[in-house]
Structures are given as C-alpha cells and as structure tokens.
C-alpha cells in the first residue's frame, strides 16, 4: 500500500527532478525498483502525475514525470498533513529529550 508519506516524498522528488529514472527514484527513496515502479504507476492512475517521453543525452528514450494540476494540489495537501505529523513527532522527541536531561542531572551525569 502506498502511504501518504511515500506519496509526499515521491511527489516532492519528482517535482524537483522530473527527468529522474525509476532507478534513481528507488535509490533516493531507499526502496526497491519494483516498489518505485508501483508507486509511480499509482500516482499516474490517480491522475497526479503524467508521463512524457523524451530523448536523453545518451540517445535513448527516457521518461519525464510531471505533476498535473491535481497532483500539485494533492501535494500541497499532503505537505500540510506531513508537516503536522513531523511537528507532533518533533514535540514528542523534544519532551523525551528534556526528560532524559532531567534524569541525567538527577544522577549527576551532566
């Protein structure tokens, strides 16, 4: 299943690098080539990404993955959702670190 986090990361990557190969996408996201292919196809089916052929410098046909207007809108929504998740994680981690500092101070380790 394609998570919102993976959708966000993939769309962000494609927006910045539309000419990336699936192999490059897989490497950047730390996923298998098969999963990269699956994720890209899922975004294409949703109408969030379109694919265009172009000739690359190595004289081969390559693909360009472009966010559609619906894709740009969906990415904006995912960005806000992902930001809220990361802020909650950050706040929880900040509280945990502060608790660890107080504990270490009580034991005279800091």
> Domain of 29: which CATH number?
1.10.10.10
If one counts the domains in the chain, the total is 1
Question: Which tens digit of pLDDT belongs to each residue from 51-76?
Answer: 988 766 565 668 899 999 999 999 99
| Domain containing residue 9 | 4-106
Q: Taking a C-beta distance cutoff of 8 angstroms, is the pair 2, 37 a contact?
A: no
pTM metric for this prediction: 0.77
Question: Which tens digit of pLDDT belongs to each residue from 30-45?
Answer: 999 999 999 999 999 9
Task: For residue 104, report the phi and psi dihedrals to the nearest 5 degrees.
Answer: -65, -35
Beta bridge partners of 51: 65
């Amino acid at each position: 299943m394609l998570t919102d986090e993976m959708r966000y990361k993939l769309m962000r990557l494609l927006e910045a690098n539309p000419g990336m190969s699936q192999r490059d996408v897989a490497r950047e996201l730390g996923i298998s080539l098969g999963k990269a292919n699956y994720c890209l196809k899922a975004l294409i089916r949703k109408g969030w990404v379109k694919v265009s052929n172009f000739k690359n410098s190595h004289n081969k046909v390559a693909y360009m993955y472009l966010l559609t207007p619906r894709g740009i809108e969906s990415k904006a929504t995912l960005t806000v959702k992902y930001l809220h998740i990361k802020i909650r994680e950050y706040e929880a981690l900040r509280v945990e670190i502060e608790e660890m500092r107080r504990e270490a101070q009580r034991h005279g380790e800091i």
